[in-house]
Amino acid sequence: QVQLVESGGGLVQAGGSLRLSCAASGSIFRFNAMNWYRQAPGNQRELVAAITSGGSTKYSDSVKGRFTISRDNAKNTVYLQMNSLKPEDTAVYYCNAEEATVADTYEYWGQGTQVTVSS
């Protein structure tokens, strides 16, 4: 059973920074991609950043240039460095992993970590 555990959320003033971590219970090499999503109250969950097993990254337009996703394979951990935070970045941030096998595609989710940005 795959477990993803997020940490690093909290309260920060606008313009500040936070670094989120997502620690997997096993090797992250098995995942085709690892992603960060966020969900604000009343909104749908949205993809914020993604990183493939090969290291390719992509970002939503709303965070491009401010957020950076990275992975440490030795620590089985994915990070989201968030700089120049804005109040509209306030949300619960979720780690997600995608695994494609011959038989099927699987998704795994962490429990989420709250990020609150005050103005």
Task: Report how far residue 2's alpha carbon sits from residue 22's, in angstroms, rounded to the nearest whole number.
Answer: 12
User: What is the tens place of the pLDDT at every residue in 71-98?
Assistant: 999 999 999 999 999 999 999 999 999 9
CB neighbour list of residue 5: distance below 8 Å, 6 or more residues apart:
22, 23, 25, 110, 111
Position 30 scores a pLDDT of 87
The separation between CA 71 and the C-alpha centre of its own chain, rounded to angstroms, equals 11
Q: State residue 52 phi and psi, 5-degree precision.
A: -85, 175
User: What is the tens place of the pLDDT at every residue in 9-66?
Assistant: 999 999 999 999 999 998 888 899 999 999 999 999 999 999 999 999 999 999 999 9
